[in-house]
């Protein structure tokens, strides 16, 4: 097992409010981490620290060999190896689905226009949208948009994929199509960090479940085991709240 | 007294000459203003999250300098009447150059002064339009771009720019029309534009009704043409 992301005593503050307290966490290649916790517990912030959308305040965060915050000038190198999927998709509205996916290879990997198009087409095929390439995001359903967003993130050939509540803006029936794509990725061995309350996904595809509360990781274990046997009362309560 | 169409017919050649000059001043000034406004508008928000995140160290000093410079320019121009600006550029600027640098005899002809005035004036208003359009781009889209590891320049040219441009077209069109009509003020520095041509014909035959009607129609035709061009540009772009 090779570590790819390491939090060493990492803290993050917004102004005077500390939202991550001395996090220490090692994530190995091929792990599928599912992060759960109440809102405001710092799960999204933890995720956003990994690709430097939020810069950690103290400690040492090593992503693919680059140390943050010490080497924050190299944050773009990290981002080229870490794909991210957002709750509200954020597809570029002026580009078609195909152009959205081809954008990364063109601009970040500097491949030719034709090659980028091929990559994009293959990835859209993979997420089940091979026939939707010429549509604008506004012409796609939420589930389709999110699948395009996953394809877009995959197009730069990242080593790690971050998912920030990828299904919470979707209808129940649209969630399924997105979760299926994510499960497919997990089965292919992609290293993933997923902030989500989809317990079925955690059990099916997750290799590790982290429960966060108040900026700390309270529980860390194998998903089905942890769901069956929550150690802390907080997690027990939380699981009741999300209806599990 | 009757409305005499022949008066209008006789005045058409000089009115067209005036309209051409007005059109030239407006278009040159607007295009220059668009460049100036885009630069000033971006400088106004340099280093902020709207253009790809906060900056540190030396870049921060540069950003701050850009912001203050743009702010001063915009407030100075928006806070003074365009007619005063025209007078200043035509009459006062040569003196200012002489006083400050000792170089004598720098002088713009009236048309150049007019073009510069429109450029500087429209630029300030367009800077605010550009700033507003850029700041209206969803922060999530900016983060989505940044998360892919593209550079700030790529972010601005490929994502923020195209989206902001679409948003800016309606208010920019407004400003284009205002600037076109503002060229009528250059009568005060003796530019032979449309309004001045009308004024001169009027002074010789005192047919105010016919002449000012004709002048108004000329402006209307030009502003409609400008509006039409903008509408075509807007229609050519993808709906987002």
- Three-state SS string over A65-115 comes to CEEECCCHHHHHHHHCCEEEECCCCCCCCCCCHHHHHHHHHHHCCCCCHHH
- Residue A35: beta bridge partners? A195, A210
Q: What is the pLDDT of residue A95?
A: 95
* Token output for A190: 């992609």
Q: What is the pLDDT of residue B240?
A: 67
**Sequence-separated (6 or more) residues with CB below 8 Å from residue B117:** B29, B82, B85, B86, B89, B186
* Token output for A52: 């430097």
ipTM over 0.85: yes
With bands split at pLDDT 50, 70 and 90, how would you rate the model's confidence at A172? confident
Average pLDDT over residues A184-205: 94
Closest CA to A158 of A85, A55, A71, A232: A85
B149/A contact by beta carbon, under 8 A: yes
| pLDDT for residue B1 is more than 90 | no
B159/A contact by beta carbon, under 8 A: yes
A219-242 tens-digit pLDDT:
999 999 998 888 888 899 888 888
For residue A226, give the H/E element and its range.
helix A223-228
Average pLDDT over residues B26-32: 97
B2-14 tens-digit pLDDT:
888 998 999 999 9
Q: Which of A76, A94, A152 sits opposite B149 (nearest CB)?
A: A76
Instruction: Tell me which of A165-179, B23-37, B45-59 is least confident.
Output: B45-59
| pLDDT for residue A136 is more than 90 | yes
**Count of pairs with CB atoms under 8 A, one residue in A, one in B:** 64
The label of the residue with tokens 């600006």 reads: B85
Contact B140/A88, CB-based, under 8 Å?
yes
- Nearest-angstrom CA–CA distance, B71 and B45: 10
- Residue A17: beta bridge partners? A14
- Nearest-angstrom CA–CA distance, A177 and B233: 38
Q: Which of A76, A78, A94 sits opposite B163 (nearest CB)?
A: A94
Average pLDDT over residues B176-181: 97
Closest CA to A45 of A71, A76, A14: A14
| pLDDT for residue B238 is more than 80 | no
Give percent of chain A with pLDDT exceeding 70: 100
Q: What is the pLDDT of residue A79?
A: 96
Per DSSP, the three-state class of B103 is: coil
Q: What is the pLDDT of residue B105?
A: 80
Q: What is the pLDDT of residue A173?
A: 86
Give the global pTM.
Answer: 0.87
Assess contact for A29 and A1: CB atoms under 8 A: yes
* Chain A residue at shortest CA distance from B163: A94
Q: What is the pLDDT of residue A242?
A: 80
Q: What are phi and psi of A106, to 5 degrees?
A: -65, -50
With bands split at pLDDT 50, 70 and 90, how would you rate the model's confidence at A1? confident
Q: What is the pLDDT of residue B54?
A: 65
Q: What is the pLDDT of residue B165?
A: 93
A105/B contact by beta carbon, under 8 A: no
Q: What is the pLDDT of residue B68?
A: 97
- Nearest-angstrom CA–CA distance, A153 and A162: 9
Query: Higher-confidence residue: B116 or B49?
Result: B116
B55/A contact by beta carbon, under 8 A: no
A75-96 tens-digit pLDDT:
999 999 999 999 999 999 999 9
CB atoms within 10 A of CB B5: 10
Assess contact for B198 and B14: CB atoms under 8 A: no
Q: What is the pLDDT of residue B106?
A: 82
Contact B240/A51, CB-based, under 8 Å?
no
Contact B146/A53, CB-based, under 8 Å?
yes
Residue B50 DSSP symbol: G
For residue B113, give the H/E element and its range.
helix B110-135
- Nearest-angstrom CA–CA distance, B20 and B218: 10
Average pLDDT over residues B203-216: 93
Cα torsion A158, A163, A164, A170: sign:
positive
Q: What is the pLDDT of residue A125?
A: 95
């Amino acid at each position: 097992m090779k570590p790819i992301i390491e939090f060493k005593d990492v803290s993050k503050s917004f102004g005077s409010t500390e939202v991550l307290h001395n996090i220490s966490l090692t994530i190995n290649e091929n792990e599928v981490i599912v992060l759960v916790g109440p809102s405001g517990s710092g799960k999204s912030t933890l995720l956003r620290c990994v690709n430097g959308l939020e810069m950690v305040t103290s400690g040492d965060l090593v992503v693919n060999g680059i140390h943050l915050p010490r080497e924050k000038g190299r944050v773009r190198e990290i981002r080229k190896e870490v794909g991210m999927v957002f709750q509200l998709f954020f597809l570029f509205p002026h580009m078609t689905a195909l152009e959205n996916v081809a954008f990364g290879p063109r601009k970040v990997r500097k491949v030719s226009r034709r090659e980028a198009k091929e990559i994009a087409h293959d990835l859209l095929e993979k997420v089940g949208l091979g026939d939707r390439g010429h549509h604008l995001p506004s012409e796609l359903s939420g589930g389709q948009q999110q699948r395009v967003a996953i394809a877009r993130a995959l197009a730069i050939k990242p080593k790690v994929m971050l998912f920030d509540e990828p299904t919470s803006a979707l209808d129940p029936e649209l969630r399924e199509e997105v979760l299926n794509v994510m499960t497919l990725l997990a089965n292919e061995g992609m290293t993933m960090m997923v902030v989500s309350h989809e317990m079925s996904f955690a059990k099916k595809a997750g290799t590790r479940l982290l429960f966060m509360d108040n900026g700390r990781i309270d529980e860390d274990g194998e998903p089905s085991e942890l769901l069956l046997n929550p150690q802390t009362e907080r997690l027990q309560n939380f699981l009741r709240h999300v209806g599990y | 007294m009757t409305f005499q169409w022949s008066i209008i017919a006789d005045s058409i050649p000089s009115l067209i000459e005036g309209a051409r000059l007005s059109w030239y001043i407006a278009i040159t000034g607007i295009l220059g203003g668009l460049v100036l406004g885009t630069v000033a508008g971006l400088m106004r928000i340099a280093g902020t999250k709207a253009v790809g995140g906060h900056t540190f160290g030396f870049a921060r000093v540069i950003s701050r300098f850009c912001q203050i410079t743009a702010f001063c320019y915009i407030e100075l121009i928006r806070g003074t009447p365009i007619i005063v600006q025209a007078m200043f550029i035509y009459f006062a600027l040569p003196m200012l150059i002489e006083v400050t640098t000792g170089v004598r005899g720098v002088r713009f002809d009236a048309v150049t002064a007019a073009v510069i005035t429109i450029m500087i004036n429209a630029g300030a208003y367009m800077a605010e339009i550009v700033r507003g359009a850029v700041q209206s781009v969803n922060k999530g889209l900016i983060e989505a771009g940044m998360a892919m590891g593209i550079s700030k320049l790529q972010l601005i040219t490929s994502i923020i720019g195209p989206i902001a441009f679409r948003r800016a077209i309606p208010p920019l069109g407004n400003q284009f029309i205002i600037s076109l009509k503002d060229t009528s003020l250059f009568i005060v520095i003796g530019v032979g534009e449309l309004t001045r041509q009308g004024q001169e014909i009027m002074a010789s035959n005192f047919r105010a009704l016919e002449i000012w009607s004709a002048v108004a129609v000329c402006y209307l035709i030009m502003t409609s043409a400008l509006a039409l061009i903008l509408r075509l540009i807007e229609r050519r772009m993808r709906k987002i």
